[in-house]
Amino acid sequence: MIRALAWVLRRDLLLAFRRRGDVVNALVFFVIVVSLFPLGVGPEPNQLRGMAPGVLWVAALLACMLSLARLFAPDHQDGTLEQMLLAGEPLVVLVLGKVISHWLVSGLPLVLIAPLLGLQFDLPGNALAVLGVSLLLGTPVLSLIGAVGAALTLGVRGSGVLVALLVLPLFVPVLIFGAGAVGATIAGTGAEAHFLLLGGFLALSMVLAPWACAAALRIAME
Amino acid sequence: MNWGSWQNFIAMGGYGLYVWGAYVVTLIALVAEIVGLIMRRRGVIERLGKYYAARRRNHESEA
Amino acid sequence: MAMSKSRRFSLYYFSSPQSFYPLAGALQPWFAALAALLCAVGLYIGFFVAPTDATQGEVYRIIFIHVAASWMSMFLYLVMGFWSGVGLVLNTRLSSMVATALAPTGALFTFLALWTGSFWGKPTWGTWWAWDARMTSELILLFLYIGFMALQSAIDDQRRADKAGAVLALVGTINIPIIYFSVKWWSTLHQGASVSLTSAPTMAKTMLLGMLIMALGFWMYSIAATLARVRCVILERERHTDWVEAEIGRQTT
């Protein structure tokens, strides 16, 4: 099973590496969206500092959602997904592998770049660190939940916007505690509770989401 | 609860706009749903009636 | 092989669309009548029996439809999740049809909960929309309903739409407590002493009674509306069968 997981990981990372443009595009989208908010709201530092956790987190949500289109659709188109369903390996393991590679390619870059963007909003150092950690805990959850949405809408017309409609409401708890962690750090009240909850979400979704995703894939492919 | 007069009832102690704004829209929404269901049923019956009639015509013309 | 099973009445008889269709047709008027009766009684109590509230004056009377609508919005989502789950696990078509039929009514009550809540909030809090825990959760619930309906209507294959909707509804059901808890935490943190729309501090017994009767009335209405809708869904989805052709023939003569 580990070998199957490793195989899926290696294949997806290789494919992502060959299409670096897709990956970079999502990252650039994140940067642009984050930069739009000060342009819309005004450069006043206190206001920006207050907005920053929410803005950075919402932009991360949107960037993650955009990248979901690349999760299953290409494999579906070239027939690999069908082979995965027919393979002897448990589909849950293969799904987990795809989600991990999706996170490595779409989520982890956000984790690394967000603190830099946080500087644009004049966030203090400890808040930047908390931002990174909250995204580190939260973006895998986004990938896991997003995978279920991507599987449900596989091959459906208008699936891009439909995935957003399905998945964004489910992202709300992660958003609340992720942005809340940074806000609490700025306010000085500490983010331990937030991290605990984010960790809880991660554990829960790691157990449930691959299973739901596998079920959704079978439904989509039958 | 004795309102005293129709005017008092409509006015709702000054909050008439809010109370009736809520109740009237609720009534409209529920009535709209009922009407929508009636129309949906009629539409289904009509459409299926035409569908079966067309199918019968096709079978007859092929027979 | 001799059939030794006695012809006992079994509820499973009604798990086929063909058997359920006439049952739904027979029951629906009764539920509609019950709904009308209960709502009439509830509104009478709400407007002519319940006294004026000490703090909020007459505007509190909105709770008689606001609370009933929000209870229904949440209850119907759970029922929808249950039946679509049954349809997914047991592979029964009718359960999925019932789930599909429940969604629009549930979404409507969610919208009404938001609308009446807004009209209650404006005179009591000063704004048409306040980001409190209950209203924000209702808003997200509305998104969940809309997502369910959008997903089902986007998928052409009927059984796939049923099952995909079921997975979505079940994921949503698991998420609802998490979402509610998160939103509640979020609102108390950012608003300090937040006043909950349903915590009328001293509820006269008549107010509570009116609320409960209206909730029951809305429940009966939901059942009646869903029965009517599921009959339409059954006719549409079973149109290739002889019994539907016969039924349509009866209706069009």
Which residues sit opposite C57 in a β-bridge?
Answer: C53
Residues of C with CB under 8 A from a CB of A: 140, 143-144, 146-147, 150-151, 154-155, 160, 163-164, 167-168, 170-172, 174-175, 178-179, 181-183, 185-186, 189
Has residue C192 got a pLDDT over 50? no
Q: Mean pLDDT over all residues of chain A? A: 93
Closest alpha carbon to C140 in C105, C100, C113, C102: C113
pLDDT at C3: 47
Closest alpha carbon to A208 in B39, B40, C107, C178: C178
Among C69, C123, C235, select the one facing B44 at the smallest CB separation.
C235
Average pLDDT over residues C114-133: 90
Flag whether C16 is in a domain. no
Residues of C in contact with B7 (CB under 8 A): none
Average pLDDT over residues C50-63: 85
A80, HSE (Cβ side, Cα atoms, 13 Å): 14
Q: How many domains does chain C have?
A: 1
Flag whether C165 is in a domain. yes
* pLDDT level of residue C191 (50, 70, 90 thresholds): low
Average pLDDT over residues A85-111: 92
Average pLDDT over residues A157-161: 87
pLDDT at C202: 62
pLDDT one-digit tens code per residue, A47-91:
999 999 999 999 999 999 999 988 999 999 989 999 999 988 899
Has residue C197 got a pLDDT over 80? no
* pLDDT level of residue C117 (50, 70, 90 thresholds): very high
A173, HSE (Cβ side, Cα atoms, 13 Å): 25
Alpha-carbon torsion, ordered C9, C10, C15, C17, to 10 deg? -10
Q: Cβ of A43: how many Cβ atoms within 10 Å? A: 8
pLDDT at B15: 86
For residue A13, what are its two tokens?
A: 């990372």
pLDDT higher at A34 or C201: A34
pLDDT at B13: 83
The helix (H) or strand (E) run that includes residue C215 is helix C205-237
Flag whether C181 is in a domain. yes
Q: How many domains does chain A have?
A: 1
pLDDT at C130: 82
Minimum Cα–Cα distance from A167: chain C residue: C147
Flag whether C127 is in a domain. yes
Q: How far apart are CA A100 and CA A85, in angstroms?
A: 18
Has residue C193 got a pLDDT over 80? no
Q: How far apart are CA C163 and CA C181, in angstroms?
A: 28
> Cβ contacts of residue C97 below 8 Å, gap of 6+?
C17, C162, C230, C233, C234, C237
Flag whether C177 is in a domain. yes
pLDDT at C251: 87
Has residue C234 got a pLDDT over 70? yes
Average pLDDT over residues A28-55: 92
pLDDT at C190: 61
pLDDT one-digit tens code per residue, C6-32:
556 677 778 899 999 999 999 999 999
Per-residue b or e along A155-189, where b marks 16 or more CB atoms closer than 10 Å to that residue's CB? ebeebeebbbbbbbbbbbbbbbbbbbbbbbbbeee
Burial class (CB in 10 A: 0-12, 13-18, 19+), A109: middle
Amino acid at the residue A15: L
Q: Which domain holds residue C190?
A: 63-237
Closest alpha carbon to A148 in A194, A207, A89: A207
Has residue C196 got a pLDDT over 60? no
pLDDT at A169: 95
How many angstroms separate the most distant Cα atoms in chain A?
Answer: 58
Positions in chain B whose pLDDT score sits under 70? none
Residues of B in contact with C48 (CB under 8 A): 1, 3
Question: How many Å lie between the alpha carbon of C177 and the closest alpha carbon of chain B?
Answer: 27
pLDDT at C174: 92
User: B51 and chain C: CB distance < 8 Å anywhere?
Assistant: yes
ipTM: 0.90
Q: Which domain holds residue A95?
A: 2-221
pLDDT at C7: 57
- The one-character DSSP state at C53 is B
For residue A155, what are its two tokens?
A: 């091959």
Closest alpha carbon to C189 in A191, A104, A135: A191
User: A79 and chain C: CB distance < 8 Å anywhere?
Assistant: no
CB of C123 closer than 8 Å to CB of B18? yes
- Which residue's structure tokens are 């019950």? C34
Flag whether C40 is in a domain. no
pLDDT at C57: 83
pLDDT higher at C231 or C3: C231
Amino acid at the residue A146: G
Average pLDDT over residues A29-38: 94
Residues of A in contact with C183 (CB under 8 A): 172, 176
pLDDT at C194: 41
